[in-house]
Amino acid sequence: MKKWKAMMALPLALLVSPMTVMAGDTKEVTMAFCTWTGYSPMFIAQQEGYFEDAGLNMDIQVIEDESTYAALITKGSIQFLATAQDPNIKMYANGATSRFVLTMDASEGADGLVATEDIQSLDDLAGKKVALDKSASSYYFFLTALEKESSLTEEDINVIDMGDTTEAGLAFMSGSVDAAIMWEPEISEALESVEGAHALVTSADYPDTILDSLVVNADYAKENPEVVEAVEEAWYKAVDFLNENPDQAYEMMASGFEEVSAEDVASDVTGLKFFDKSDNEKLNDESNEDSIYAINQKMADFWMEKGECETDDLTDFFELLK
């Protein structure tokens, strides 16, 4: 999923002290995320007064440097954090004191593997150069698709770690690789600019591989369960508003970011599924073989195998759902 770039500095205060205090009957709460449409319904919640109605003064910080997230959530400098599920799992598994709150959205076409005309199946990738970001959810998506649809393994392919999904897309469009895992708008740009380019597989085929989720500082959640519940309800109201008033919602969602238009948001939304209350209730049902627990355990096992996690035990991570 495309993380729109906005050049905003990380507030120094966030690195040194928690920001939640009581102010009369209003609680000051801080949430952080980077510039990505999947998180932006939180701006609807803010502008429609859903936080205020619950007695919360929500300060939303747009922080692009995701390497700071684990420290921020662990120190309590921010109370809530929205990011992709893979980094949320890796942060928790490597010591961050975070707890899962809800699933925000899933990529259902916003990410994909784009290849040259001569590559018509995943088996055709043997010996080919494939650019991707090995630290991102797209890596998990790619290897999941490879396992399901091909006899190849990663070792049969010349996988080039670009360290950034946007750079992977640009590498494909420059002709330096044969295929790339990319996200929108690079997918559309590649299909238009490279003759014969086509999407070999997309996240619409594997919607459980690229998710965004909301987490909260563990100690804060224990001391303020009513705030966690209020933030959940604000999200659900925002998703309902988006579904009922899309054009108005796109304007609100874009307004919280720099250099993002309502048209950008509208384009992104076509490849996303936002999770409302009923979606989360279904996903959180342990009897469902595609439950959030099963989905995340697969992710944790994957990243553990890749040496990115110290543990794959997610028991405490999901304790707020019990």
The one-digit pLDDT tens for each residue of the chain (322 residues) are 555 444 344 444 454 433 333 445 799 999 999 999 999 999 999 999 999 999 999 999 999 999 999 999 999 999 999 999 999 999 999 999 999 999 999 999 999 999 999 999 999 999 999 999 999 898 999 999 999 999 999 999 999 999 989 999 999 999 999 999 998 888 999 999 999 999 999 999 998 999 999 999 999 999 999 999 999 999 999 999 999 999 999 999 999 999 999 999 999 999 999 999 999 999 999 999 999 999 999 999 999 999 999 999 999 999 999 8
pLDDT of residue 48: 98
| Contacts made by residues 45-53, CB under 8 angstroms, sequence distance 24+ | 45/234, 45/235, 45/237, 45/238, 46/256, 47/252, 47/255, 48/237, 48/238, 48/241, 48/252, 50/233, 50/234, 50/237, 50/238, 51/230, 51/231, 51/234
What type of residue sits at position 311? T
DSSP code string of 34-72: -S-GGGTHHHHHHHTTHHHHTTEEEEEEE---GGGHHHH
Q: DSSP letter at 256? A: T
CA gyration radius, the chain: 20
Is residue 251 a contact partner of residue 113, using CB atoms and an 8 Å limit? no
Q: Which of 50, 29, 74 is nearest to 240 (CA)?
A: 50
Range 192-219 burial, b when 16+ CB lie within 10 A, else e: eebeebebbbbbbbbbbbbbbbbbbbbe
pLDDT of residue 25: 77
State CA 93 to chain mean position distance.
17
User: What is the rounded CA–CA span in Å between residue 270 and residue 177?
Assistant: 27
pLDDT of residue 17: 39
In the chain the domains, ranked by start, together with CATH numbers, are 12-106+211-321 (3.40.190.10), 111-202 (3.40.190.10)
Beta-bridge partner residues of 180: 114, 131
Q: Which of 205, 59, 86 is nearest to 144 (CA)?
A: 205
